[in-house]
Structure formats: structure tokens, C-alpha cells
């Protein structure tokens, strides 16, 4: 199995870069680095579900006290958070490039006006221009990575604090 990024020169004239006929084609032909982050995140979400099922089986059926699947769950959760954060960084770079292309005064920079960026994050996507839609994706990616990453970060911090206090 190979993973291949499509570039404009490789895309057939009759086919849109984001048009995929099957799920398999969707996963094998991402259109950009953001697509790779999204696909990897979906795979790790599936692995999170499998680790939850494994933990239920290990704890409930087998009676194991320290199941490996619980550690796998936290690892997959932390990896998912890192992937979403990677998508956020990529989206931020795309946002900056789009801002430079548009170079209009009404486009809001994410770091200068964070309140307006948060307002855009929860706005209706149909009413946003291209730059505002990219800001929306960036802010929602950041919020999602913080929410998903809070649990493994908190557990790691508690473990580190407990190991230093011994």
C-alpha cells in the first residue's frame, strides 16, 4: 500500500482534486498535508475505539488489573491530539499564506484579535469568506487538540509530579 499526495500537475483535467469515488481512494490520495493529518487522525480515532473495547475485555472478562489497552488508549489519545495540533499548525500556515495573497485590511489576524477569531470559529460556515473559513478551521483545530490532549497531558503531569515528590 502506498500513500501519494496529488499535485496540480498529476490531477487529471476531468477530475477535481478533492473528488474521490471510494473511501479507499479517499484515504490513499490526500490532496495536501492537511489531508494526511486528517486521515491519520481518523485512523487513531479508530484505534482509540479498539483500545476501549480491548480495555473492557481485559478488565471485565479477563480480570486483568493493569491492562495494556488502557495505556494504548492514552497513547492513541495523545497521538490524536498531536495530529490535530499538527493540522492546526498547517492550517495556520495556510491562513498566513492566504492572508498574504488577499492582503486586505478587513482580514483579521488570529494572534492580534483572538476574540474575533473565536467568534469566527462558531459562526455559520456558509457566511464566511475563504480567509475567515481558514481561521475557523484553525481555531477549531486548536480547541479540539486542547480538549483531546487534556487527559493524557494531565495524567503525564500527575505522574511526573508524583515521581518528583518521592
Q: Decide if 149 is inside a domain.
A: yes
Task: Encode pLDDT of 57-77 as tens digits.
Answer: 988 888 887 778 888 888 899
Phi, psi of 162 (to 5 degrees): -65, -35
Residue 35 — pLDDT band, cuts 50, 70, 90? confident
- The total of structural domains in the chain comes to 1
Q: Decide if 1 is inside a domain.
A: no
Task: Encode pLDDT of 97-143 as tens digits.
Answer: 888 887 765 555 656 677 777 788 888 877 788 888 888 888 889 89
Q: Decide if 3 is inside a domain.
A: no
Stated pTM of the model: 0.69
Q: Decide if 159 is inside a domain.
A: yes
Residue 48 — pLDDT band, cuts 50, 70, 90? very high
pLDDT for res 105: 57
Domain of 104? Answer: 32-164
Amino acid at each position: 500500500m502506498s500513500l501519494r499526495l496529488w499535485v496540480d500537475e498529476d490531477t487529471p483535467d476531468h477530475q477535481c482534486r478533492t473528488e474521490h469515488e471510494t473511501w479507499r481512494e479517499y484515504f490513499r490520495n490526500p490532496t495536501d498535508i492537511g489531508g494526511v493529518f486528517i486521515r491519520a487522525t481518523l485512523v487513531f480515532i479508530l484505534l482509540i475505539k479498539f483500545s476501549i473495547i480491548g480495555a473492557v475485555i481485559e478488565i471485565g472478562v479477563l480480570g486483568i488489573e493493569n491492562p495494556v489497552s488502557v495505556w494504548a488508549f492514552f497513547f492513541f489519545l495523545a497521538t490524536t491530539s498531536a495530529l490535530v495540533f499538527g493540522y492546526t499548525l498547517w492550517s495556520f500556515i495556510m491562513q498566513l499564506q492566504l492572508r498574504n495573497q488577499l492582503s486586505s485590511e478587513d482580514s483579521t489576524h488570529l494572534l492580534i484579535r483572538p476574540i474575533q477569531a473565536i467568534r469566527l470559529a462558531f459562526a455559520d460556515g456558509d457566511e464566511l469568506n475563504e480567509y475567515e473559513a481558514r481561521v475557523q478551521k484553525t481555531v477549531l483545530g486548536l480547541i479540539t487538540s486542547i480538549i483531546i490532549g487534556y487527559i493524557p497531558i494531565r495524567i503525564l503531569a500527575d505522574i511526573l509530579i508524583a515521581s518528583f515528590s518521592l
